[in-house]
Structure 1
Amino acid sequence: MADLSATLAEFVHRPPALPEGVRAAGRRSLLNMVGTAIGGSGETAIDKLAALLPVFSGPATATLIGRPERGDMLWAAYINAASANIFDNDDTHIPTVIHPSAPVAPALLALAETLASRGRPVGGDALIEALVLGMEITCRLGNAVHPVHYARGWHITSTCGVFGAAMAAGRLLGLSPQQLVDALGHALAQGAGSVETLGTMSKSLSVGQAARGGLMAALLAADGYTGPEAPLEGQRGFLALHSDAPDHAALTGELGTRWEILNNTFKPYPCGVVLNPVIEACLALHARGGFDAADIASVELTGHPLLRQRTDRPGVTSGRLAQVSAQHAVAVSLLRGRADLAAFSDEAVADPQLRAFGDKLLFRDDPTYRLDAVEVRLRLTDGSAVLHHVAAAAGGLDHPMSDADLAGKFRTQIEWRRLPLDGDALIAALANIEGAADGAAFLRATQTNYRDEQGESPS
Structure 2
Amino acid sequence: MTDITAQAIRFIEQTTYGDLSDEALAIGRRCMVDTAGLYLAGSREKSVRILIADALAQGGRKDAPLPGNGPTRVPAPLAARVWGTAGHAHDWDDTQVSNDPAHVYGLLTHPSVPPLTAALIVASQRGEVDGRELMLAFQVGFEVECKIAEWMKPRHYRRGHHTSGTVGTFGAAAAAAKLLGLSGGKLAHALGLAASLAAGIRVNFGTMTKPLHVGRACENGVTAAFLAAQGFEADPSALDGQWGFFSVMGEGFDADKAACGFSGPLTIVEPGVSIKPYPSGILTHQSMDAMLQLVTEHDLKAEEVERIRFFAGKNIIEPIRYPIAKDHLQAKFSMPALLAMILLCRRASHHEFEDHFVAGQAMQDLQARTDVINDPGIDAAGYDKIRSRIEVTTKDGRILVQWADERYRGGPSKPISDAGLDDKFRMCAEGVIGTRAQEELLTLVRNVDHGGNIDRLVALISGEE
Report the TM-score, using the length of structure 1 for normalisation.
0.92
1:310 is aligned to 2:319: yes
SS at match of 2:240: coil
Question: Which one of the candidate residues 374, 389, 395 is aligned to 2:388?
Answer: 374
Counterparts in 2 of 1:357-372, with a 5 A limit?
A: 357-359=366-368, 360-365=370-375, 366-367=378-379, 368=381, 370-372=384-386
Structure-2 change in CA distance of 1:193 and 1:60 (3 Å): same
Larger deviation, residues 190-199 vs 137-146:
137-146
Q: Equivalent residue for 1:413?
A: 428
Question: Which residue matches 2:293?
Answer: 284
Q: What letter is aligned with 1:298?
A: R
Contact 2:7–2:262, Cα closer than 8 Å, also in 1:
no
Per-residue deviation at 1:175?
A: 1.0
Aligned-partner residue type, residue 80 of structure 2: A
What are the residue-to-residue correspondences of 1:299-448 with 2, within 5 Å?
Answer: 299-359=308-368, 360-365=370-375, 366-367=378-379, 368=381, 370-389=384-403, 390-417=405-432, 419=434, 422-436=437-451, 438-448=453-463
| Residues 424/416 of structure 1: CA separation in 2 closer, same or farther (3 Å cut) | same
- Is 1:192 the counterpart of 2:199? The answer is yes
* Counterpart contact for 1:94–1:264, Cα < 8 Å: yes
Cα offset, 1:334, TM superposition: 1.8
Q: What amino acid is the match of 2:117?
A: P
1:192-241 Cα shifts (integer Å, max 9, x gaps):
10111111111122211110110111111112211113200121110001
Encode CA deviations 1:303-331: one digit per residue, 9 max, x unaligned.
Answer: 34221111131222211111111111000
Alpha-carbon contact 1:113-1:441 (below 8 Å) kept: no
Q: How many angstroms apart in 1 are the aligned matches of 2:412 and 2:374?
A: 24
| Separation of aligned partners in 2, 1:180 and 1:107 | 15
Structure 1 residue 55, shift from structure 2 partner: 3.2
Judged with a 3 Å threshold, the aligned counterparts in structure 2 of structure 1 residues 444 and 138 are, in CA distance, closer, same or farther, namely same
- 2:216 pairs with 209, 221, 229, which one? 209
- Kindly state the Cα deviation for residue 361 of structure 1 after the two structures are TM-superposed: 2.3
Letter in 2 for 1:349: V
- The answer to whether the Cα contact below 8 Å between 1:38 and 1:65 also exists between their aligned partners in 2 is yes
Q: Distance in 1 between matches of 2:68 and 2:234?
A: 36
Tell me the amino acid that sits aligned with residue 121 of structure 2.
A
Q: Could you tell me the percent identity over the aligned residues?
A: 28
- Deviation, 1:391, is 2.6
State the Cα deviation string for residues 29-71 of structure 1 (Å, max 9, x = none). 1111111010010111111111112332322221212222432
Compared CA separation, residues 33 and 251, structure 1 to 2 (3 A): farther
CA distance in 2, matches of 1:440, 1:27: 17
Query: How many positions carry a matched residue from both structures?
Result: 446
Report the Cα distance in structure 2 between the residues aligned to 1:130 and 1:372, rounded to whole angstroms. 32
Report the Cα distance in structure 1 between the residues aligned to 2:11 and 2:445, rounded to whole angstroms: 26
Question: Contact (CA 8 Å) 1:373, 1:392: kept in 2 or not?
Answer: no
Structure 2 CA distance, aligned partners of 1:353 and 1:244?
45
What's the RMSD between the two structures over aligned residues? Answer: 2.0
Does the CA contact (< 8 Å) of 1:38 and 1:83 recur in 2? yes
Q: Is the 8 A contact 1:312 1:327 kept in 2?
A: no
Deviates more, 1:55-64 or 1:77-86: 55-64
> Are residues 252 and 174 of structure 1, via their aligned partners in 2, closer, same or farther at CA, if it must alter by over 3 Å?
farther
Q: Distance in 1 between matches of 2:301 and 2:435?
A: 39
Q: Counterpart in 1 of 2:73?
A: 70
Q: 2 CA distance for matches of 1:275 and 1:267?
A: 11
TM-score, normalized by length of structure 2?
0.91
Provide Cα deviations, 1:156-188, integer angstroms capped at 9, x if missing partner: 001001011111111111111322111111001
SS in 2 for 1:261: coil
1:59 aligns with 2:55: no
Secondary structure of the 1:362 match is strand
Which of the numbers 105, 108, 123 marks the counterpart of 1:97?
Answer: 108
Q: Give how far 1:251 is off.
A: 3.8
Q: Structure 1 residues 349, 246: closer, same or farther in 2, change over 3 A?
A: same
Equivalent position of 2:4 in the other structure? 4
Corresponding residue for residue 454 of structure 1: none
> Tell me, which stretches of 5 or more residues in structure 1 are unaligned?
451-456
